[in-house]
Amino acid sequence: MAQQRALPQSKETLLQSYNKRLKDDVKSIMDNFTEIIKTAKIEDETQVSRATQGEQDNYEMHVRAANIVRAGESLMKLVSDLKQFLILNDFPSVNEAIDQRNQQLRALQEECDRKLVALRDEVSIDLYELEEEYYSSRYK
């Protein structure tokens, strides 16, 4: 919650709308599922014939099932929106990854520099020895 307070007003409002969408969609799924279960119960005789009642129950179940599917699709869209929000607004995590990569590359650079200096020193020593040998030989 403290992290949300640090967010700008528009981001906080957006997160609140995501939370409301989540609660509404889950409530819709639960309510429609509960009503389908209630509709599946066989009731005692009513003023409507069994065939008519069966058709009405069938239609109601189809409508409620469609509402459940719509709410499920809405939840999938919400997940997509949350991923997009996280990708676009998670700057601390992105900065941390960049800093970590920079540290790795700096360590690699330092290691390469050390190896190059050691190689330079070895080549310098070998070159000095070769020059000394050349200048002290009789074939100059």
Per-residue confidence (pLDDT) for residue 71, from 0 to 100: 95
Per-residue confidence (pLDDT) for residue 140, from 0 to 100: 57
Per-residue confidence (pLDDT) for residue 9, from 0 to 100: 67
CA distance 82 to 94: 16
Per-residue confidence (pLDDT) for residue 8, from 0 to 100: 58
CA distance 134 to 14: 79
Neighbouring residues of 40: CB distance < 8 A, sequence distance ≥ 6: 57, 61
CA distance 138 to 120: 29
Q: What is the mean pLDDT of each run of 10 residues along the chain (140 residues)?
A: 51 88 95 90 73 86 95 95 84 84 96 96 93 81
CA distance 4 to 12: 6
Per-residue confidence (pLDDT) for residue 54, from 0 to 100: 83
Per-residue confidence (pLDDT) for residue 86, from 0 to 100: 84
CA distance 105 to 28: 51
Tell the burial category of 75 from Cβ atoms under 10 Å away from its Cβ (0-12, 13-18, 19+). Answer: middle
Tokens representing 82 are: 């949350």
Taking the model in full, what pTM does it have? 0.56
